[in-house]
Structure 1
Amino acid sequence: MSPSGTFSLTAILPVLPSSLGLLETTLLLLLEHCDHLSEIILFSPETVQRNVRKSLRGIFDPEERLSQVEVSLLPWPPGLREDAASLHMSRQATTDYVLYLDNSGFVGLDSETLDVLMLRHSASTASPVGPRGISSSTSGPVCLPALEAPQPANFLLPPFVMPSSLVPEIELSPDPQYGVWSTLGERISGSRHDKLGGLVVGTNITDSDWCLSKDTLGHRPMSNAGPTDRRLQAHFDHRHPPASHRFSSLVSHTSPPRPASGIIALVLPQLQDLVHFSLTACRLRQAGYTVDTLLYADTGDHVDLVSSECKLDFRILPGLESGLSLDQAILGWLEGLSHAADVIIFSAPDNDLTTQTQATIQARFTTVPIVEIPRTDLLFCDWMGSLTLLEWKNWHKPRIDISVITHKRPRSLDRLLSSLNNARYFGDRPDMRINIEQDADMDTMRAVEAFRWDVGHLFVHHRIVHGGLMPAVVESWYPHSNDSYGLILEDDVEVSPLFYAWTKMSILRYRYGPQENKSPQLFGISLYQQKHLELRPEGRHRFNARDTFTAAGLSDPSTPYLSQIPCSWGAVYFPEHWREFHTYLSLRLSELAWDLEQTVVLAVRSNKWRKSWKKYFIELVYLRGYVMLYPNYEGYASLSTNHLEVGSHVKDVPKDVYMRKKKLFELPLLPLPAHEDVPRVETGLLSLPGGSLPAMHALPTLDLFGMVTAEDMLVERGRERRWELTGCGNDVQSTYDIWEFLCLEDMFDRASV
C-alpha cells in the first residue's frame, strides 16, 4: 500500500571508518529508490569527513537523480553513541518521514524491504516500520524476524522509517542494551491506545547478526568528533569547488522555519561574515526565530553552510542589472521576504554599504529597528543570540554615556582611555565626557589633548575651582531622558573589551524586555565583581558570590545577582535613580532632611566616609531597598578592574602594604577570545544559567553585608528606618520622588529650595 498524497523523506546515515566501504552502495540504493527522498543527512567523525566528501564527489551526478535530493555532511555530535547521535540528527529533518540507518546501511535487505523503507510499500504511515524489531516476553527480549505479515513490536532497530512527528524534541535516556531505540519505542507506545511501538515488515532477511550482537548500538567515533561544548556550537563546512563541480544539489537551503518568535533579516557582505555570526544566528533559530540572510557582496561559488545545530538559509545577491543600485537590490530582497522582517541586522565592509544605502533602507522601513554591526565585531556577537524579540526591537532606545573622572594620574588615565578605545561597541556610538579636576598636572592635560575618540562625541570639562571627588563624580553626568545611562569611571579603573556587551545585554533585559523583568528597585549595573565586602563594622572581609550561593542551596551558583552595594569601580547608573540621588544629596548636604551628622544606616563602615559620594548613595539605597546587578563569572572574571592607585581615597603607604592591598582588588578582565584564523568564537558572556541572563525574579539578592535576603525584606527595612527618621509612615505615591518619600513637602516649598 502506497502512502496517499505526496510525502517527503529524510535519510539519516552515520558513517564510521569501518563503514566507509559501504557508503557508495548505500547511497546508490537510496538514489535508486528516491521517489520520496528529499534529503540525506550524513554524519561522521572529523577524521573521515575528507574521505566521505571524496566518495560524494564520485557518486553524485547533477545530470541524473540528485537534483531533487539535498545532501548534508555534519560532524558527529560529541559524546553520543550511534543511536543517540542518529536521533539527535533527525531533529533537523523537515520532511514528513525519517529513515534511520545504522552504519551498515542496507546490508542483508532485499529490494522489497528496501521499498518498504523508502515508502513505496508501507504497511503503516503512523508508526515506525522496519525489518528488525524487538518484543518482550517472560524470558526477556525477543528478536522478531521479518515476515510477510506485519508484526507488532515494542520497538525497532535501524533500519526503520517513521513519521517525523514522532521525533522527540528532547534527548532520551538510553537503555543499557538497546540504547535510545528502546526508550523511543516506549515513548511511542505510551501515546497509543494499542501500545504499539512499531511494526516489523519485510521479507528474506539474510543477516541475523543484528539479533545476535549485544553491541549493535555501541558505536561512537574514536577520535575527536568536534567541539566538546555541545551548546549551540556550529561546525561549518563551506567549500569552494571548481566551476565544473558535481555538487549541484548540495546547496544551502534551510528548512521551513518552525513557528517563529520573530523574523530576523541578516544583510551581510560575504559567507565568512555569516560564519562569524553563526553562533548568534543558530541560537536565534533555536529560539524560534526565522533568520533570512542576504550576502550582498559575495562572488564565491559556495556549496553549503551547515552546522551541528542548524542550517542557515542564505541568498547571494546576483550581479546588479544595469541601473539597479545596491540599495535598490537590498530593498528588493527585503520586500520580497515571505514575511516582513521584525529586525534588520546588517554589516558593511568599510564603505561598501554607503550612508546613502543605509538612509534608503531606513527611509523604507521606518518602524523596523535596523541594527548595524561593524564587520570586525561579528565574531563577538554570540551574546545577541540570547535577546528576545522585544529586546531586539528596543536596541536603539538606551543611550549609554561614558563619564571619565581624572586628576593627577596621567598613566592611569592613558590605560583607561586605551581600554575604552579597544572595547567593542557593536555599532553603538556612545559619547564620552572627560572631567578634569582644577589642579590637574600638565601630563594629565596633555594626555587628554592627545586622546582621540572616534566612536562618538567627546566633551572635555575642566573645573576652575577645586571640587574634590564627591562633586567630581556626582556632577560628571546627569541624564537627559529616561533612556540615558551613565557609565562612571575613575581613572584608576580599566575595562574589559567586552564591557559594553555586558552592559547592553543587561540593560536590554532588565529595562526594555518583558514587564516581569523590570523592577523600579534596580538602580544600575556593575562591571566589577565583588571580591571583598567593606561595610561590616568589623572591617573588610573576603567574598565569593558562588560560595555564598552554594551555601544558600541555590541550584546554580554561577548566576548574576543583585546587591545593595553601589559600585564605584566601573558601573552604569540608571537615570531615575541618579536624579533622585542628586536631589537626596542636595537635601542631605543642605541639612534640609537631617543634620549632616545624622546616622541614616546603622552599623556600617561607610558612615565614616564623610567625603565620599558612596556614603550618601548607600543611605538612599538602604532607605529605598534599591539593588544593583553584579556579574558572577568564574574566577572573578570581570568587566572592569580597579588598580587601586594613590589618589583621593588611596593614601601613600609603604610599597609592601600597598601591593598587598592592590592585590585584594585587582581582578582579571574578561578578554576577547583568541580569534586569529578562527571562524567563530564564544565570548564567555553567556556562561550563565541556561545560557542567558536569568529572569528578574530568579536573581538572588544580597544586602549591604553580603547576606542573601528577600528583596521585599530590603524594602521593608528601609520603610522602618524611614519611619524612625521622619516619623512619616504614609504610603509613597510617586516613584523616585525623594521629597515625598522623606515627607519634606509638608515642611518646605520645594520650588523655593
Structure 2
Amino acid sequence: MEPLPLVFVRLPRPTLCIDSPDALLNRSRSHGLGAEKPTSEDELSRLQSAFTAENIATSGSLALTAVLPVTQSSVSDLKSRLGDILGYSQYLSDIIVLSPVAVIPRVRRVLLSALASGGHSAHIELTVRPWSTDEEQDSATLRIASQATSPFVLILCENGLDAIDVRSREALMLLEPFSTMLPIGPRGFVLRDSKHICLSSSRTPQLATFLVPPFVIPATFISSFGFNLSREGAYGIWLDLGKCIARTRADSAGGFVVGSGEGLGSWCSNMTEDTALSSQKLPIISNPLLDQKPIELFANKTRNAGVDSTLASGTFLLVFTSLLDLTRFSGVACRWRQDGHKIHAALFVRTDHLKMAVLTGVRQLILEDCNLDYHFLPTQSSGFELASEILTWFNCQPITPDIVVTTISKLVLLDEVFQPKTASQNKRFTVIHLPADDLPYCDWIGSLTPRELENWHKPHIDISVITNDRPHSLARLLTSLSSALYFGDSPDLRVNLEQTADRETSQIVESFKWDKGQVFLHRRVVHGGLLPAVVESWYPHSTDSYGLILEDDVELSPLFYAWAKLALLHYRYGRSEDRSSRMFGISLYQQKNLELRPEGRHPFNARDVFTAAGIDDPSTPYLSQIPCSWGAVYFPEHWREFHAYLSLRLSEYAWDADQVVAPGVRSNKWMRSWKKYFIELAYLRGYVMLYPNFDGYVSLSTNHLEVGSHVKDVPKEVYLRKKRLFLLPLMALPDLLHSNATGLLDLPDHGLPPWDQLPVLDLLGLPASEETLVERGSMRRIELTGCEDTIDTVHDVWDLLCLHDPLFDL
C-alpha cells in the first residue's frame, strides 16, 4: 500500500538540546532504581534542577515524529486522537499512522477530514504506513519508528494521548523542559524484589526500569537497539528496550516517569504482569529498505551444554565499518554458514546525520554462495566514541557469540568490550581483529572450527633470521617478510648476525623497520658456524611459543603466515584426535627432491607417490620425518628436547661422535649440520613434520641456493642447474579482479584433513604408518642402549636414551 502523498514545507523552528543530568547520576549511584523519593531537600533540588530550563542550550533540533498505531476498534476515534496530538505541534514534524492493511481506506478518509478541518501547523507531514497482521503491535511500532528522520520519536499506543494529563502531554511533545537524554513518559515500571512495580507519575521525575507507551525517546536509541529486541514476559518489547538502555548508563535507568500524576492511579491499579500484554510471539522484523522475507530474531541464547565445540554449531559476530569489508569477508561467512554456524553482522558506517535514521535497518547482502543479513547502523562516531557505541549495541543483542571478527583496531575496540554480559556467562569470547586490507585473503579462516578459532591468540610465532655475509639475500628475505600478511598478529623478529658478518649486512639489519612486533638483534662474539647459529637462534618461552627459523637465502610467500597459522590452529588447538605429540613442526617448503637416500639426491613428487599408493586425493598435505631447513615452524617441546639431545650428543655423553643413529641415510655424513642430529631424534622418536602439497610445487617458501656454508662455489652452469632443483614458485596473492581464492584451500574438502587421514612418509620418502615409524625408532633405541624399558616421559631425552641425569643426585 502506497503511503499517503501529503508533503508539507517545514518552517524553521528554534533549535534546542539538553545537557546530561550529572547530578541525577550521582543520586542514582547512591539510591538506585529502588529509591522512591529523594531523601533530602538538597537531593530533591538537584534532581529537579536536572530537568529545568537552565539546563537547556541552543544547539541541535527538537523535531519530533509521532508514531500512532490504529486498530479495527480504535479507528473510529482516530480523528479526535489526531486532534489531541496536533494541539501540541510546536516541535512536531511528522505523524506516522500505523494501520492494518484492511483499515487503511478508513484511515485515509479520517486523515483527509482532519486536514480539511484545519487548526494545525502546516509544517507537519502525515503518513500512513501498513501494519502486517504477522507482527505484534509493539514490534511494528518500533520498526516504523526506526524510519523516522527526526532526532526524537513519540511512541504511542492505539489510545494516543487519551487519559494523559496536560503536564505529561507537554513533556511528551517536548514543550515541558525535561531532560531528553532518556525516554520520558507518564507510564513506567521499576524492578523491586524481582517484580515489576507500576510507577505513578508525580511532579518529581522518577527513574524507571522501562516505560510503556506513550513515551518520547531519542531516535538514536531505536537505531541502536530496535532491530534485535526480544519480547520478555508480559511487557513485550518495551521491557527489553529499557534493559538495553539501562546497560549504557551508570544509574541503570531505562527512562524517567514524569507528569503530574493526575489520572494515573487507575492505570496503575489495572496494570499487572498478567494484564500488561498477553502475546508471547517472537517479534518479526521486516527490512524496511529491501523487499525480502522478514527475519525472525533469535529467542534462545543458551548453548548446548556438554557438546564438543568442534562439532556443535558456533555463533559468529562480524563487526565492520563498510559494506566492502563484509563483501570481502563474505566467502568466510558463507563457509561458516554452510558448516552449520550462525552468522550475525553489523556495519557501523560513518554517515551524514540526516540520513542516519533512514538508512538504519536490517539488510541483506545477496551473494553467489549465500545471502547474508546484516544490521546497517549509521554513525557519526569514530575512535573510542565508536567503540562505546558498538558496546551499547552489542549489549542489547540476543546473541552470545563464540567468535567476534572485526576490522576495528584492538587499540580502539578493546577485547573486553565483547566479554560476558552477566556473571552467569563465564565463557569469554575470542575477538579477532583483522586489518581491512587482509580481508580479501582470509578464505582459509573459513575452514577453521569455532574450537580452533577460540584459540586464535594462543600461538605466538617468533621469526628468527640467521645471516652472515650475504646482504642481497638478506634484503630479499626481509622484503618478503615485510610484504607478507599477518592477519592482525604481531610476530616478533630476531636477527642473528654471525661474528664475521660484513658491514653491508649489518647496515641492512640496522636500517630495517619492522612494524609488526618487536625486533631483537643478536651478534655473536666468536664465530660459531651454521650449526650453533641455527640451534641457538631461538628457544621457546612457553608451550604456545613457536619458532620460524629462516636462513637468509630463503624467500617467503606473502601467504606463508596464513599457512603456518592454519596448520597450528588445526593440529595443535583443534580436536584432540587431530593433535599428536609426534608432530614436531610445519614446513613452508614443498619437497621437490629427496636428499637422504644413500645413492644421492632423488627427484620427488608427493602426488605421484600418493597416486601410486592408491590414496583417494593425492593433493593432500602429508607427514614426513625429514626436518625442513628452508623455512619451517618448529614446536616448543620438540625444540627443547632437540637442545637437550644435541648437548648429550655433542658431548659424547651417550655415544661416540661417529655413532650412526639413523641407519641407511645420507645425513650421517653431514658432520657440521644441525639437521643430521634432528634427523636422529626424529628417527628414534618416530617424529614427523607437516608438508604442503600444492599443485606445481607451489610453495610458501623457496630456497635460492646461495653460496654459503653448505653450498660450494662452482661453475655458473653447474650452479644454475643445481639451483633449479630447489627453486620453487611461491604462492602469490590472487588477482582480486578474477578471484579471491588464495589457493591455501586447494586441499581435500577445502580444508586440512584429520590427523588420521594424513599420509606418512619415512626419511627415504617411502609410505609408512605412524606406528611403523615409532616401532623402528623403538627397536633402534634398544639396539643402541640395550634398554628395553618403556619410555615413560614424553620429550625427555634422558628417558629416551636410558641415561641417568646427574642433576637428580644434587
Structure 1-normalised TM-score? 0.65
SS of 1:486's partner is strand
Aligned residue number for residue 174 of structure 1: none
Rate the CA distance shift 1:382–1:723 in 2: closer, same or farther, 3 A: same
1:528 CA displacement: 0.2
Larger gyration radius, structure 1 or structure 2: 2
Aligned residue number for residue 171 of structure 2: none
Tell me if structure 1 keeps the 8 A contact 2:606–2:693.
Answer: yes
What is the CA–CA distance in structure 2 between the aligned matches of 1:424 and 1:268, rounded to whole Å?
19
* Mapping of residues 296-375 of structure 1, within 5 Å: 296-299=348-351, 304-319=364-379, 325-348=385-408, 355-358=411-414, 361=417, 367-375=428-436
Q: Looking at both structures, which has the greater relative contact order when contacts are Cα pairs under 8 Å and sequence separation is at least 6?
A: 1
SS of 1:524's partner is strand
Q: Show CA shifts across 1:250-299 (max 9, x none).
A: 36976778997111111101100000001001001111111111101254
What is the CA–CA distance in structure 1 between the aligned matches of 2:382 and 2:474, rounded to whole Å?
54
Q: Pick from 283, 291, 296: which aligns with 1:250?
A: 291
Aligned residue number for residue 620 of structure 2: 559
1:629 and 2:690 matched: yes
Aligned residue number for residue 322 of structure 2: 270
What is the CA–CA distance in structure 1 between the aligned matches of 2:709 and 2:726, rounded to whole Å?
17
Rate the CA distance shift 1:295–1:481 in 2: closer, same or farther, 3 A: same
1:542 CA displacement: 0.3
Tell me if structure 1 keeps the 8 A contact 2:350–2:379.
Answer: no
Rate the CA distance shift 1:252–1:635 in 2: closer, same or farther, 3 A: farther
Aligned residue number for residue 519 of structure 1: 580
Rate the CA distance shift 1:533–1:254 in 2: closer, same or farther, 3 A: farther
Tell me if structure 2 keeps the 8 A contact 1:404–1:433.
Answer: yes
Tell me if structure 1 keeps the 8 A contact 2:485–2:558.
Answer: yes
SS of 2:365's partner is coil
SS of 1:313's partner is strand
Tell me if structure 2 keeps the 8 A contact 1:526–1:631.
Answer: yes
What is the CA–CA distance in structure 2 between the aligned matches of 1:322 and 1:523, rounded to whole Å?
45
1:530 and 2:591 matched: yes
Q: Pick from 701, 704, 708: which aligns with 2:760?
A: 701
What is the CA–CA distance in structure 1 between the aligned matches of 2:367 and 2:431, rounded to whole Å?
26
What is the CA–CA distance in structure 2 between the aligned matches of 1:335 and 1:501, rounded to whole Å?
32
Q: Percent same amino acid among aligned pairs?
A: 56
1:603 CA displacement: 1.4
Aligned residue number for residue 713 of structure 1: 772
1:344 CA displacement: 1.0
Tell me if structure 2 keeps the 8 A contact 1:252–1:311.
Answer: no
Rate the CA distance shift 1:252–1:327 in 2: closer, same or farther, 3 A: farther
* Mapping of residues 419-458 of structure 1, within 5 Å: 419-458=480-519
Q: Which amino acid aligns with 2:413?
A: T
Q: Which amino acid aligns with 1:591?
A: E
Aligned residue number for residue 145 of structure 2: none
Aligned residue number for residue 629 of structure 2: 568
SS of 1:413's partner is helix
Rate the CA distance shift 1:254–1:484 in 2: closer, same or farther, 3 A: farther
Let me know the Cα RMSD of the aligned residues.
2.8
Paired residues in the alignment total: 510
SS of 1:384's partner is helix
What is the CA–CA distance in structure 2 between the aligned matches of 1:649 and 1:598, rounded to whole Å?
22
Aligned residue number for residue 38 of structure 2: none
Rate the CA distance shift 1:729–1:361 in 2: closer, same or farther, 3 A: same
Aligned residue number for residue 788 of structure 2: 729
Rate the CA distance shift 1:586–1:689 in 2: closer, same or farther, 3 A: same
Q: Show CA shifts across 1:540-593 (max 9, x none).
A: 010000000000000000000000000000000000000000000000000001
* Mapping of residues 591-602 of structure 1, within 5 Å: 591-602=652-663
What is the CA–CA distance in structure 2 between the aligned matches of 1:458 and 1:384, rounded to whole Å?
27
Tell me if structure 2 keeps the 8 A contact 1:320–1:329.
Answer: no
1:249 CA displacement: 3.2
Aligned residue number for residue 496 of structure 1: 557
Q: Which amino acid aligns with 1:374?
A: P
Q: Which amino acid aligns with 1:537?
A: P
Tell me if structure 2 keeps the 8 A contact 1:264–1:289.
Answer: yes
1:446 CA displacement: 0.8
SS of 1:277's partner is helix
Aligned residue number for residue 691 of structure 1: 750
1:284 and 2:336 matched: yes
What is the CA–CA distance in structure 2 between the aligned matches of 1:489 and 1:253, rounded to whole Å?
54
What is the CA–CA distance in structure 2 between the aligned matches of 1:251 and 1:375, rounded to whole Å?
29
What is the CA–CA distance in structure 1 between the aligned matches of 2:781 and 2:605, rounded to whole Å?
31
Rate the CA distance shift 1:253–1:741 in 2: closer, same or farther, 3 A: farther
What is the CA–CA distance in structure 2 between the aligned matches of 1:399 and 1:751, rounded to whole Å?
32
Unaligned runs of 5+ in 2: 1-100, 103-127, 136-286, 305-311, 422-426
What is the CA–CA distance in structure 1 between the aligned matches of 2:382 and 2:521, rounded to whole Å?
50
Q: Which amino acid aligns with 2:365?
A: L
What is the CA–CA distance in structure 2 between the aligned matches of 1:594 and 1:391, rounded to whole Å?
42
What is the CA–CA distance in structure 2 between the aligned matches of 1:617 and 1:562, rounded to whole Å?
16
Aligned residue number for residue 190 of structure 1: none
Aligned residue number for residue 579 of structure 1: 640
* Mapping of residues 372-521 of structure 1, within 5 Å: 372-521=433-582
Q: Which amino acid aligns with 1:719?
A: S
1:605 CA displacement: 0.6
Tell me if structure 1 keeps the 8 A contact 2:494–2:520.
Answer: yes
Q: Show CA shifts across 1:518-558 (max 9, x none).
A: 00000000000000001010000100000000000000000
Tell me if structure 1 keeps the 8 A contact 2:496–2:521.
Answer: yes
Q: Which amino acid aligns with 1:281?
A: A
SS of 1:317's partner is strand
Aligned residue number for residue 658 of structure 1: 719
Q: Which amino acid aligns with 1:682?
A: A
What is the CA–CA distance in structure 2 between the aligned matches of 1:367 and 1:554, rounded to whole Å?
41
Aligned residue number for residue 253 of structure 2: none
What is the CA–CA distance in structure 2 between the aligned matches of 1:63 and 1:655, rounded to whole Å?
82
SS of 2:366's partner is coil
Rate the CA distance shift 1:252–1:587 in 2: closer, same or farther, 3 A: farther
Q: Show CA shifts across 1:217-260 (max 9, x none).
A: xxxxxxxxxxxxxxxxxxxxxxxxxxxxx994336976778997
SS of 1:403's partner is strand
1:337 CA displacement: 2.3
Aligned residue number for residue 198 of structure 2: none
Q: Show CA shifts across 1:357-378 (max 9, x none).
A: 3265267678211110001101
Rate the CA distance shift 1:498–1:67 in 2: closer, same or farther, 3 A: farther
Q: Show CA shifts across 1:183-236 (max 9, x none).
A: xxxxxxxxxxxxxxxxxxxxxxxxxxxxxxxxxxxxxxxxxxxxxxxxxxxxxx
Aligned residue number for residue 66 of structure 2: none
What is the CA–CA distance in structure 2 between the aligned matches of 1:515 and 1:270, rounded to whole Å?
38
Rate the CA distance shift 1:321–1:433 in 2: closer, same or farther, 3 A: closer
Tell me if structure 2 keeps the 8 A contact 1:253–1:314.
Answer: no
1:313 CA displacement: 1.3
What is the CA–CA distance in structure 2 between the aligned matches of 1:712 and 1:706, rounded to whole Å?
16
Rate the CA distance shift 1:610–1:323 in 2: closer, same or farther, 3 A: closer
What is the CA–CA distance in structure 2 between the aligned matches of 1:323 and 1:686, rounded to whole Å?
35
1:325 CA displacement: 3.1
What is the CA–CA distance in structure 2 between the aligned matches of 1:584 and 1:310, rounded to whole Å?
53
Q: Which amino acid aligns with 2:770?
A: E
* Mapping of residues 113-192 of structure 1, within 5 Å: none
